[in-house]
Amino acid sequence: MNINIKILSATVGICAISVSLIGQAFADADNDKLVVDGKVITTQAKAPADSELEKLYSGWRFRADETQSLQMDDFENPAFVAVDQAEDQFAMVEGKAGKSCADCHSDVTDFKGLRATLPRWNEAKGKPETLEHIINECRTDRMEAKAWKWEAPEMLGMTALIGLQSRGMPVAVKSDGPMQSVWKKGKDLYYTRVGQLDMSCASCHENNYGKMIRADHLSQGQINGFPVYRLKWGGLGSIHRRFKGCMQNIRAKPYKRGSDEFVALETYLATRGNGLSVETPAVRN
Ligand code: HEC
Ligand code: HEC
């Protein structure tokens, strides 16, 4: 089943370009088992009751064997260079208060379980917060150090190190209470068609996962492995970087990293993966 998308370009006038984007070949998630250093990590889960999906699959299940294997051994996983650097960073004194993370958080293992619950509501600020926000709040308010940029290597390393502490735990992000309106905004964004190609996130990741798009095997677009090491990026990248890339691919103007829109989208996507295991840091092509 080919989906032909006609782009009627105003500048080209009468000329209509037909793009055959999503190919014929259908291969559902494979049956490989993710075992990291002897520990089994479940890569599928029952869909939550209100889910549009029949079953949840981690993006790992759609990758080629070579890419999959890189995530099965922490010595081969290229993300661990950044994770090791983040461990050093954790003990480094920075800022006017003369503190390191370790001065207040004796061990990074204290953050076990945290990744699985984010984004969450910040009562004091009256806003939702992601892991990036939490880390920067400690840096600016408690260390009196400069905030890290969303995509800075230090931020990516630290979010990977903190996320790793929850590896194997089921994602359990809340969509009720004060998070409800954030979740709803994220859901609206997920289903809104945008860009020259007039597609929504659902056009690919809900209606066509399992199919091939050019040379790439479409997954459900889950975020349980982020930040991920992408071979194409040659490094770690944030959830919001991936959102940007997908929006650019459909020729839409992407929102900014850290924007209210992307925080809402992250919240909604996180709940779509409730029940899947945290896989941080995952490896992708
Ligand atoms: C001066 C003390 C201090 C420093 C330094 C500090 N933090 Fe914090 N941090 C806190 C306090 C207080 C909280 C809120 C209470 C809590 O959850 O522990 C917190 C919360 C957190 C949380 C959320 C924990 C949770 O379970 O909700 C994370 C993650 C975190 N800090 C990471 C860091 C990182 C990474 C650094 C270094 C870049 C850092 N912190 C530096 C004091 C500090
Ligand atoms: C034209 C099809 C298409 C659309 C529309 C699209 N994506 Fe993607 N997306 C891809 C492809 C291809 C990949 C890489 C293969 C994969 O994991 O599906 C990808 C990957 C992802 C991933 C990484 C999944 C993983 O496990 O690493 C996330 C997250 C994601 N997309 C989110 C989104 C969001 C949010 C939107 C809407 C703003 C969106 N995508 C719209 C094609 C699309």
Does the structure show a pLDDT above 80 at 105? yes
Residue 216 to residue 231: CA distance in whole angstroms: 13
Give me the catalytic one of 101, 201, 204, 246: 246
DSSP per-residue letters across 216-236: EE------TT-SEEETTTTEE
**Tokens in use for 247?**
């929006």
The whole-number average pLDDT for the span 224-234 is: 98
Separation CA 215–CA 25 (nearest Å)? 11
Separation of alpha carbons 87 and 101, rounded Å? 10
Q: Is the CB of 101 under 6 A from ligand 1?
A: yes
Give the pLDDT of residue 25. Answer: 61
Average pLDDT in the 163-191 region? 98
* Residue 138 annotated in active site: no
Same domain, 67 and 179: yes
d(CA 155, CA 162): 10
Task: Please report which confidence band the pLDDT of residue 20 belongs to, taking 50, 70 and 90 as the band edges.
Answer: low
For residues 90 and 67, state if they share a domain: no
More confident of the two residues 37 and 72: 72
Residue 29 CB–ligand 2 contact under 6 Å: no
Looking at the fold, whether 199 and 62 belong to one and the same domain comes out as yes
Query: Which ranges of 165-212 does DSSP label H, i.e. alpha helix?
Result: 180-191, 201-205
Separation of CA 163 and ligand 1 centre (Å): 14
Q: Is the dihedral of CA 57, 113, 136, 148 positive or negative?
A: negative
Query: Is there an atom of ligand 1 within 6 Å of 160 CB?
Result: no
Amino acid residing at 263: V
Is residue 85 predicted with pLDDT exceeding 90?
A: yes
Last residue of a domain, one of 111, 135, 164: 164
Q: Which atom of ligand 2 is closest in space to residue 239's alpha carbon?
A: 29
Which range scores top for mean pLDDT: 5-19, 46-60, 243-257?
243-257
**Same domain (yes/no): 223, 91:** no
Contacts of 236 (CB under 8 A, 6+ apart): 79, 82, 153, 156, 157, 160, 227, 228, 229, 230, 281
Question: Is residue 232 situated within a structural domain?
Answer: yes
105 lines ligand 1 (CB under 6 A): yes
User: Residue 2 falls within a domain, yes or no?
Assistant: no
Predicted TM-score (pTM) of the model is 0.94
> Range of 258's domain?
25-76+169-284
In a shared domain, residues 214 and 193: yes
Q: Is 166 helix (H, G, I), strand (E, B) or coil?
A: coil
Measured from the Cα of 142, ligand 1's closest atom is 1
Co-location of 46 and 89 in the same domain: no
164, 189, 223 — which closes off a domain? 164
Q: CA dihedral in degrees (97, 103, 104, 108; nearest 10)?
A: 130
Same domain, yes or no, for 57 and 194? yes
Of 132, 164, 196, which residue constitutes the final position of a domain? 164
* Same domain for 153 and 105: yes
Residues 10-45, buried b or exposed e (16+ Cβ, 10 A)?
A: eeeeeeeeeeebbbeeeeebbeeebeeeeeebebbb
Other CB atoms within a 10 A radius of the CB of residue 125 amount to 10
C-alpha of residue 246 to centroid of ligand 2, in Å:
5
Cβ neighbours around 93 below 10 Å, total: 13
| 201 and 156 fall within a common domain | no
Percentage of the chain surpassing pLDDT 70? Answer: 91
Which residue lies with its CA nearest to atom 32 of ligand 2? 221
Question: Distance from the CA of 235 to the center of ligand 2, in angstroms?
Answer: 18
Say yes or no: 221 and 280 in one domain.
yes
- Give the total number of structural domains in the chain: 2
The enclosing domain of 217 has a CATH number of 1.10.760.10
Say how many C-beta atoms besides its own lie within 10 A of residue 202's C-beta.
16
- Is residue 215 in a domain? yes
> What mean pLDDT, rounded, does the chain reach?
92
- Alpha carbon distance 236, 255 (integer Å): 20
Q: Would you say the CB of residue 104 lies under 6 angstroms from ligand 1?
A: yes
- Looking at the fold, whether 147 and 196 belong to one and the same domain comes out as no
- Ligand 2 centre and the CA of 185: distance in Å? 19
What is the Cα–Cα distance from 163 to 149, expressed in whole angstroms? Answer: 18
Rounded mean pLDDT, 100-120 = 98
